Amino acid sequence: MVKTTLKTLPYFDNVGTILVTFLLEPVFQILFLTLLSGGNFSTNSVTGMIMLGAASMTVVTVSSLFVTDQDLGIDVIALKESSGQIKYWITKIIVGILMSLLSNLPILLVFQLFFSKFSVVTYGQLIIVMLVSGIVGFTSAVVSWTRNNPYFLTNLVLGSLTVLSGALISINHYPFWLKSLTYLLPYNQVFNQIVFGQSVLWIAILQILLWLIIGLVFYQYRKSRL
């Protein structure tokens, strides 16, 4: 089922999209980070960039897969079968994680070989970020399900992720009003811990649970109106 789902993604349509997604975009990310840091790479900046890219790719992949199913009418068929719903969403999240790993692999290799040395803990944290992003992708998809713009919440999340996640600059340096906004996404404590070693664990868990609960509530509501 994972293999079939992967084939529905536009990234594998032709050689051009494969090169752009898995080669050119990572190269531009490396160049951007080089300019941002003046060539003096810090572990924090590199880790933040990688985590941010992983989160974005996971969210957009999970959401895109569900929108594709809506376009094909598969969503109604698949989600009316109660026995397969958990498997359906787990597959989407697994594919999102795989895409995230593939798209970030060039960056990971470059910095692991030539610059920063990432520990096993960092790779474990990367998995956590992708799992959290799977929940965000699920919630973003179902909140916008049956809306005129099925990417409504996904676009809001992706558009604000760089600033509100605190992946590149610690939220502790934000003004009060901006720091308050970072709590809207379940990333500020997660990224602050991974990149800067500062977080409040119970807030991170509460944020993730709230996003999951919101997703489940909207999911049941939208499904009941099919």
- The amino acid sitting at 127 is I
What percent of the chain has a predicted confidence (pLDDT) above 70?
81
pTM, full prediction: 0.87
Q: What is the pLDDT of residue 119?
A: 75
User: From residue 91, how far is each of 5, 24, 31 by CA, in Å?
Assistant: 8, 27, 33
Q: Evaluate whether 33 touches 110 at the Cβ level (below 8 Å).
A: no
Say how far apart CA 142 and CA 66 lie, in whole Å. 9
Averaged pLDDT, 92-110: 87
pLDDT of residue 39: 55
What integer best gives the mean pLDDT of the chain?
A: 83
- Sorted by sequence, the CB contacts under 8 Å of residue 132 that are 6+ apart come out as 55, 186, 187, 190, 208
- Cβ contacts of residue 172 below 8 Å, gap of 6+? 179, 192, 196, 198
DSSP string, 24-90: IHHHHHHHHHHHHHTT---HHHHHHHHHHHHHHHHHHHHHHHHHHHHHHTHHHHHHH-GGGHHHHHH
Q: Is the pLDDT of residue 177 over 80?
A: yes
CB atoms closer than 10 angstroms to residue 121: 9
Measured torsion, CA atoms of residues 182, 138, 62, 7, in degrees rounded to the nearest 10: 180
- Note down the domain range covering 199: 2-224
Helix axes of 120-143 and 152-164: crossing angle, nearest 10 degrees? 150
Higher pLDDT, 144 or 76: 144
Domain count within the chain: 1
